Amino acid sequence: MKKSTNKLAAIDSRFTKLISQFGYPTYKKETQYFKSLVRSIIYQQLSGKSASKIHSRFLSIYSTSSHPSPSQIKSTDMDILKGAGLSRQKINYIYNLCEYSLKNNIENIDQLSDNEISKELTQIKGIGQWTVDMFLMFTLSREDVFPLGDLGVKKGLMKFEKLPELPSEKEMDRLSKKWKPYRSIAAWYMWIIIEGPFEW
């Protein structure tokens, strides 16, 4: 990650200042894909801080030291999950993911390309492109993902590029192309200049 970040700074020297201010991206490739997707669903349309609190309350429901399994979550009453702060809609999305995971070996999904992973996961109701982008970036550590639908990235890009208003997805795509093939790292810095340091 450090090597790729330095290569991004070589492409666009403005990132040198961000590296000095915030350091290097700290996320690493993960191996528990079901766990990661549950977390991504919980984080949908929430600030990082709010989502982190709800995610912690969700995990506290289960006494196991490891992440709850699809069958454990699927058998958890909706009212208990709502008590953790999850909406009915998100609970149903998590249930849908549990059903998918019980029928498919999700742990082999990293063998697919970015586009193939997107096509596979978006079949699950409740998982859209934003969730796929988070999975590609923070779980699989794919380096060239720029989440066009993320508000934090939009705000960060507006500030970074000194734009008069929030950019459209088309404009975000155009502006981010100069950072290929390290757009995931660029997106991380777009978040951090708005939200400050955070843990995913």
Return the CATH fold of 33-126: Endonuclease III; domain 1 (1.10.340)
Q: Chain centroid to CA 117: how far?
A: 14
Query: Which residues, including other chains, have CB under 8 Å from residue 109's CB and lie 6 or more apart?
Result: 33, 117, 120, 121
Euclidean distance between the first and the last CA atom of the chain, given in angstroms as a whole number: 16
Q: What is the pLDDT along the chain (200 residues), one digit of tens a residue?
A: 899 999 999 999 999 999 999 999 988 888 899 999 999 899 888 877 888 899 999 999 998 778 999 999 999 999 999 999 999 999 999 999 999 999 998 888 999 999 999 999 999 999 999 999 999 999 999 999 999 999 999 999 999 999 999 999 999 999 999 999 999 999 999 999 987 765 55
Instruction: Decide if 155 contacts 116 (C-beta within 8 A).
Output: no
pTM for this predicted structure = 0.84
Query: Which residues, including other chains, have CB under 8 Å from residue 166's CB and lie 6 or more apart?
Result: 154, 155, 158
| CATH 1.10.1670.40 domain locations along the chain | 2-28+145-195
Q: What is the CATH number of domain 2-28+145-195?
A: 1.10.1670.40
| CATH 1.10.340.30 domain locations along the chain | 33-126
